[in-house]
Amino acid sequence: MLINVKVFPCSKEEEIIKKSEHSFEIKVKERPVMGQANKRVTRVLSSYFNIPEKGVKLVKGFRERNKVFEIYEK
């Protein structure tokens, strides 16, 4: 399943907001330096969907705020 994610790095607290079935907004504390924010978003999505981190893959938007992740369900 592909989902669209809008990431807000450097936030005061972490939060995941479901906009629609395949669209999310995620706030993370990490800075967008050397992929730190992307790694944290991957961890947040894996815990949200209750799957291992290997089941979440960043497909598009490595250096952008709007990203596309692929979720491998159980």
Q: Is the pLDDT of residue 28 over 90?
A: yes
Q: Domain containing 6: what range? A: 2-51
In a domain, 39, yes or no: yes
Amino acid at 9: P
Q: Is the pLDDT of residue 31 over 90?
A: yes
pLDDT for res 11: 95
In a domain, 59, yes or no: no
Amino acid at 51: I
Q: Is the pLDDT of residue 74 over 80?
A: no
3-state secondary structure of 32: coil
User: What domain count does the chain have?
Assistant: 1
Q: Say how far apart CA 73 and CA 64 lie, in whole Å.
A: 25
pLDDT for res 72: 92
Residue 30: which of 47, 17, 14 has the closest Cα?
14
In a domain, 74, yes or no: no
In a domain, 42, yes or no: yes
Amino acid at 68: V
